[in-house]
Amino acid sequence: MGWRDRITDMIVRGVPVRSDLPTRAYHGTGNVFEEFRNRPIKDTYMIDTAIGTHVAPDPALASGFASRFVNETPRSPTDYQIRMNKTPNVMPVAIPHDSKFLQAVQPEYPNRSSVEPIWRRVATDQRAIEIMAAQKAYQQNPELLERYLMEARQQPAKEAISNARAMARGDRVPMEGTKYNLEELTRSFGGKPYNEADQQAMVDTARDAWSKEGYKGIRYINTAPLEAGAFGVKDPTSYIVFNPKDIRSQFARFDPAKADSSNLLSSVAGMAAVPAGIGALVDQSSYGARQ
């Protein structure tokens, strides 16, 4: 019996959802795997994707991401081909309670109509999370801010050191014809370091600090048109989960001895993730036949 058949058998037999991870969510991907791993910044180049794993409570939103890995063929609008040797895959997972997630700050644009969907009216999730990470990391480690000011804002070393320490304390400092505190600086310029080592340090520092405060991740409004704007999406809420051990398949059996494992099915050896073609989780008209 193959892994897909074994998971189907688990679903048919009604294997219960993990009660210790109460929030149901879905992860859209082009891969099949047995555990999540945090990606280093060199593999993604984006702060928000390096911080953790992105999931969504609306399976249609996750399906919108997975569908990026298929194309309609010229022959027929109902015929599809796989892109980049990927396998469109929507994985049903369980994550911690909603209260364990830090809410991303995504201000609404003042010039957007209230009749537009919320994901069109707010600051992009990528920008918002980058700003949050920069603020947190620079407060924790002013030396990162010193190098950012020298490399990105072209400040002399002595001035950058003085300004970084002052902003980490909460002070406003003169800079480029105006005054900025740390929040104002990051909201104006983003704050993403220029060099890869400091980008990774910013991700690690912010994630570690938030984790010590008790947060399991970040909750945000997804603003990607191909995800939040995908057909059938009703809820643009998404989550970033910091630690892979806080993600399991919805069909995993809870084993306290394996609570620190990052394997999706924990106590079920040899099992892989649940693909989109199982359990009627998403509309199969786009790629179900190609699984």
Count the neighbouring beta carbons within 10 Å of the beta carbon of residue 155.
Answer: 19
Per-residue pLDDT, averaged over 23-29, amounts to: 89
Instruction: Flag whether pLDDT at 4 surpasses 60.
Output: no
**Burial class of 99 by CB neighbour count within 10 A (0 to 12, 13 to 18, 19+):** exposed
Instruction: Flag whether pLDDT at 280 surpasses 50.
Output: no
Q: What is the pLDDT of residue 86?
A: 61
Contacts of 267 by beta carbon, 8 Å cutoff, 6+ apart: 252, 253, 254, 255, 258
Q: Buried b vs exposed e over 56-80: b needs ≥16 C-beta within 10 Å?
A: bbbbbbbbbbbbbbbeeeeeeeeeb
Please provide the distance, in angstroms rounded to a whole number, between the alpha carbons at the two ends of the chain: 17
Q: What is the pLDDT of residue 233?
A: 92
Average pLDDT, the chain: 81
Q: What is the pLDDT of residue 131?
A: 97
Count the neighbouring beta carbons within 10 Å of the beta carbon of residue 11.
Answer: 14
Q: What is the pLDDT of residue 115?
A: 86
Q: What is the pLDDT of residue 47?
A: 95
Instruction: Flag whether pLDDT at 243 surpasses 60.
Output: yes
Q: What is the pLDDT of residue 265?
A: 55
* Interval 244-266: pLDDT, tens: 989 988 776 655 556 566 566 55
Alpha carbons 21 and 26: distance in angstroms, whole number: 13
Q: What is the pLDDT of residue 218?
A: 98
* Interval 167-185: pLDDT, tens: 999 999 998 889 999 999 9
Alpha carbons 200 and 224: distance in angstroms, whole number: 24
Alpha carbons 260 and 265: distance in angstroms, whole number: 12
Q: What is the pLDDT of residue 250?
A: 76
- Compute φ and ψ for 91, nearest 5 degrees: -105, 120
- Could you state, in order of their start, the residue ranges of all structural domains in the chain? 3-290
User: If you write DSSP's letter for every residue of 133-183 in order, what string do you get?
Assistant: HHHHHHHH-HHHHHHHHHHTS---HHHHHHHHHHHHTT--EEETTEEE-HH
Per-residue pLDDT, averaged over 220-241, amounts to: 93
The answer to whether the beta carbons of residues 145 and 138 sit under 8 Å apart is yes
Q: What is the pLDDT of residue 65?
A: 80
Instruction: Flag whether pLDDT at 18 surpasses 60.
Output: no
Instruction: Please state, in angstroms and as integers, the Cα–Cα distance from residue 32 to each residue in 70, 184, 272, following that order.
Output: 15, 42, 7
Instruction: Flag whether pLDDT at 96 surpasses 50.
Output: yes
Instruction: Flag whether pLDDT at 267 surpasses 50.
Output: no
